[in-house]
């Protein structure tokens, strides 16, 4: 906590509210009064700081309440996942053909020949399906992480909305 000057201390003590406004603890999700340090901050903070924080809180609440946008995100993510999966199936088929050829290419007995190792290395490095498949697999991991985040957001939406509303109320009370 910031060390208050005598002037700030007297300003804080003269403007304290009893009881203090209620806020939700994000860890326990239990409502309780804001802390004395938070109250001191709210009393000493400029109106511009509090108004900006309040505007951001309201904007977040508005965005999160936009079910149409959320549905579009979910639909887009599902379509993209299907598209990537289809593309990966196609690439896996091409890679499988290459792997089958490589495994049956009469190399037995010549595995130690450096040039054969170079040949396979160069063919694999230059064979676009390998690079494409790696890129699509990476994109698929990112997409699945985004979908999981979206799912968690839905699950925690009510709690988060309660916390944001409580914070907006606290900001407005000072």
Residues 50-71 pLDDT 10s? 999 999 998 888 876 667 777 8
Euclidean distance between CA atoms 110 and 52, whole angstroms: 72
pLDDT digits over 13-44, tens only? 999 999 999 988 777 777 889 999 999 999 99
Judged on CB neighbours under 10 Å (0-12, 13-18, 19+), 54 is middle
33 with 74, same domain: the answer is no
89 with 150, same domain: the answer is yes
Strands (E), the chain: 22-24, 31-33
| pLDDT surpassing 80 at residue 123 | yes
pTM over 0.85: no
Q: Is residue 111 part of a domain?
A: yes
| pLDDT surpassing 90 at residue 87 | yes
Q: Is residue 85 part of a domain?
A: yes
Euclidean distance between CA atoms 86 and 78, whole angstroms: 12
| pLDDT surpassing 70 at residue 117 | yes
Structural domains of the chain, count: 2
93 with 142, same domain: the answer is yes
4 with 80, same domain: the answer is no
For residue 19, is the peptide bond before it cis, meaning its omega torsion is within 30 degrees of 0?
A: yes
Domain that holds residue 21: 1-44
Q: Is residue 142 part of a domain?
A: yes
pLDDT digits over 128-157, tens only? 898 899 999 999 998 888 887 777 666 567
Q: Is residue 140 part of a domain?
A: yes
Token pair for 17: 């509210």
154 with 96, same domain: the answer is yes
Three-state secondary structure string covering 12-58: HHHHCCCCCCEEECCCCCCEEECCHHHHHHHHHCCHHHHHHHHHHHH
Q: Is residue 55 part of a domain?
A: no
23 with 95, same domain: the answer is no
80 with 154, same domain: the answer is yes
Q: Which H or E run contains 152?
A: helix 128-172
Collapsing DSSP to helix, strand or coil, 31 comes out as strand
Q: Is residue 9 part of a domain?
A: yes
36 with 71, same domain: the answer is no
Radius of gyration of the chain (CA): 29
Judged on CB neighbours under 10 Å (0-12, 13-18, 19+), 42 is buried
pLDDT given at position 154: 63
């Amino acid at each position: 906590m910031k060390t208050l000057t005598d002037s700030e201390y007297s300003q804080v003590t003269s403007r304290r509210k009893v009881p203090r406004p209620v806020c939700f603890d994000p860890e326990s999700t239990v409502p309780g009064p804001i802390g004395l340090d938070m109250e001191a901050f709210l009393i000493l903070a400029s109106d511009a700081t509090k108004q900006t924080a309040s505007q951001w809180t309201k904007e977040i609440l508005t965005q999160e309440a936009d079910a149409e946008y959320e549905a579009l995100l979910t639909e887009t993510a599902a379509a993209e996942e299907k598209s990537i999966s289809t593309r990966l199936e196609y690439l896996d088929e091409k890679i499988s053909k290459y792997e089958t050829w490589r495994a049956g290419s009469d190399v037995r007995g010549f595995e130690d020949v450096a040039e054969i190792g170079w040949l396979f290395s160069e063919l694999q490095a230059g064979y676009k399906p390998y690079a494409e498949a790696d890129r699509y697999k990476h994109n698929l991991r990112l997409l699945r992480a985004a979908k999981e985040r979206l799912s968690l957001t839905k699950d925690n939406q009510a709690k988060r909305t309660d916390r944001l509303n409580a914070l907006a109320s606290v900001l407005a009370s000072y």
